Amino acid sequence: MFPKHSKIAFSAIIALSTWFVQPSLGQNKRDKQPSLDYSQYVNPFIGSAGHGHVFVGANVPFGAVQLGPVNVFEGWDWCSGYNYASNTILGFTHTHLSGTGIGDLNDILLLPITGKVPLTKGTKEDMGHGYGSYFSHENEISRPGYYSVLLDKYNIKAELTASERVGFHKYTFNSKEESHVLLDLADGVGWDKPMKTFIKKTGKNSIEGYRLSKGWAEDQRVYFAMEFSEPIVNISLYDSISVMKGSEGEGIRMKAVVDFNLNKEKTLLVKVGISPVSSENALANIKAEIQDWDFVKTTQKAKTKWNTELNKIQITADENTKNIFYTALYHTMFAPSIFNDVNGDYRGTDKIIYKKAGFTNYTTFSLWDTYRALHPLFTITQPDKINDIVKSFLAIYQQQGRLPVWHLMGNETNTMNGNHSIAVIVDAYFKGFRDYDVDLAYEAIKKTSMQTRAGMNYVQNLEYIPADVELESVGNALEYAIDDWCVAQMAKEMNKQDDYEYFSKRAKLYEQYFDSKTGFMRGKLKNGQWREPFNPLSSSHREDDYVEGNAWQYTWLVPQDPYGLMKLFGGDDKFTQKLDTLFTLEEGVVGDNASPDISGFIGQYAQGNEPNHHIPYLYAYAGQPWKTAKLIRDIADTFYTSKADGLCGNEDLGQMSAWYVLSSMGFYSVNPANGIYVLGSPLMNSATINHKNGISFKMTAVDYSKENKYIQKAEYEGKAYTKSYITHEMIVEGGELKLFMGSVPSPSWGVKKEDRPM
């Protein structure tokens, strides 16, 4: 399946399974560059306003704990719990989602308080009679691994940091009034609601408990242990506002008011460990990860972990581009998040506790979004995590009978379309990541492909999905075809010829939705007729033939077979004429219930929603790479900024940012599982991707400027390179790609058929 570089045989690609452990012969070794403080360029507030929905707070890369502030909930744009438009803080919670379009989590809320402690939340209009405080962004700091804010109402400075499984709080009290900490297990974000909660004082400085809830995650279980640096003077327990006697209690909406005597010591430290298994494991997580009370040291460790990751890509660019790039790279490492304890224990999808797992188990997989660019990016920047991600998928398969769709805290949410864990596994397999049961992996992708949900019963029979039988028939079918193409490639490599032929036919089913008269992918009724009336601009949120989009956007969702799509249009010219219109048609999306996810428009193209992300790169397949170049610059300059509303749509656990990280370096994964990256237009002077064994791949944009957006010619390792794409093997082998830039399109570079993406 993989394209070959002219000097490297296909067998060498398979050998890349150990490229990050030991260099292969012929690899270009480069001295490891010194670690630099790239965290200084990260602005965590980018994407926290508008529709970005990003998490703001303290965490470490891929950490289970994401500790940050919670605002008064004001609607969809508060899905993460925080939006920069707010000036309220209700407390600090230990789990968050970043960039999702559905709200959940925000578990285990703590709030330092002075004076009388209300048991109900304050409101946006009135913080005086409930708990919570107003704050000013002038007194708020957020940087990788650290967050602080001044709570105006209480005159308390709150500081936060974290390890993988432990949140670390520091509260500085500046009042003579009594000092308290409120622990609230009642509320999450969105439609999350508690089902059972428990709090118990376990020692003079410690508390433990759990929160079981029902929301987007149908059955979420979070256990916690909590240690304070000062002794607890008194603890008062409540179920909602009902007083409970004693120092432990179980109820639906448990709260605790914890009293301290801080007359001499004005600082209180709190360590909160969480676990999907037990409070005992949560306490063990604290003992293993944050053994002392040195807040500064823990903050520095978190910063070091972030810098280790950010140093994997070193760029030369102006300050603004560095801010956008490193914040984007930072945002790609919030998920998937760790979902087991330091001893390896985790709770499976079947709610069984699995002891001492021999791999890092992960959760929070927004696969409809992230299979497109985030997971291909991980194969470049996170090679040590790929096998564990696949093992996590396979464990989920064994526990629920199919691979994950959108997995959250040990729960299958069945959100969005397709079976895109398949694409992630196949991409990993062909890039040489095989430290898992390969036969089980194939069994899992095949069985998952043979489900009957959401129209797959028709696909199994090599039939189109009738639009009058299944909603979102076109959106579902086009996503299935991508995954089926992936299954076919793995079947072929594993000498399963019958499966290869069958899934290859399924991968071509996208053709049955193409109406040659209108030039759009359309819903077809069970009687064989097209659904009427038809308006290609129409989009009703999850109530029509598409998914968060319209016919203009979905007609191009064939990244596994662009040349087949061109053939349906009648050739390169008709294909590009239609594609040109996509980017110039200014009429708005229509629909009584149009999805707010459709955002970031250039014509009908919507950068704010993931099915569009590959479309600008399709020009390269038609021999017009200069059109791709111009669009990439226009999209990046318009929709990625260093402001709080610097994302035009939901971050979606890293996909929006992954598009920028790859595209700004000059390339993108159009097909998410074939190891090809189509060239576009770099947004910087150079980018160096560093690997663990000292191998690096460098992209240099010669004569880069805002005006010089078009590639004139290219060189790889000092030799002319005429192709409009690069391969994964080129990146992991190391070397330098030079792109010579100019202000006008080149009439020859990347134009010949043999130079177009394979």
- Judge if 17 and 83 occupy the same domain: no
Angle in degrees, CA 326, 328, 331, rounded to 5: 110
- Judge if 25 and 49 occupy the same domain: no
- Judge if 125 and 24 occupy the same domain: no
Domain boundary among 277, 307, 337: 307
Burial class (CB in 10 A: 0-12, 13-18, 19+), 208: buried
**Residue that the structure tokens 């700091």 belong to:** 141
In tens, the pLDDT along 215-227 reads 999 999 999 999 9
Q: Are 176 and 107 in contact (CB under 8 A)?
A: no
- Judge if 284 and 338 occupy the same domain: no
Amino acid at site 387: N
- Judge if 187 and 65 occupy the same domain: yes
Q: How far is CA 74 from CA 48, 118, 124, 305, 595, in A?
A: 14, 21, 9, 34, 18
**Per-residue model confidence (pLDDT) at position 28:** 35
3-class SS string, 397-439: HHHHCCCCCEEECCEECCCCCCCCHHHHHHHHHHCCCCCCCHH
In whole angstroms, what is the distance from residue 473 CA to residue 325 CA? 37
Does the residue 273 lie in any domain?
A: yes
Domain boundary among 307, 341, 372: 307
- Judge if 217 and 366 occupy the same domain: no
**Residue that the structure tokens 């690899």 belong to:** 27
In tens, the pLDDT along 238-254 reads 999 999 999 999 999 99
Domain boundary among 307, 335, 350: 307
Low-confidence ranges of the chain (pLDDT < 50): 1-34
- Judge if 675 and 688 occupy the same domain: yes
Number of compact structural domains in the chain = 2
- Judge if 325 and 290 occupy the same domain: no
* Backbone dihedral angles phi then psi of residue 208, each to the nearest 5 degrees: -140, 170
**Per-residue model confidence (pLDDT) at position 596:** 80
In whole angstroms, what is the distance from residue 157 CA to residue 231 CA? 20
- Judge if 287 and 363 occupy the same domain: no
Does the residue 430 lie in any domain?
A: yes
The pTM score is 0.94
- Judge if 111 and 223 occupy the same domain: yes
- Judge if 124 and 172 occupy the same domain: yes
Q: What CATH number should be reported for the domain holding residue 90?
A: 2.70.98.10
- Judge if 225 and 139 occupy the same domain: yes
Does the residue 186 lie in any domain?
A: yes
The separation between CA 673 and the C-alpha centre of its own chain, rounded to angstroms, equals 17
Q: What CATH number should be reported for the domain holding residue 481?
A: 3.30.2080.10
Domain extent for 238: 40-307
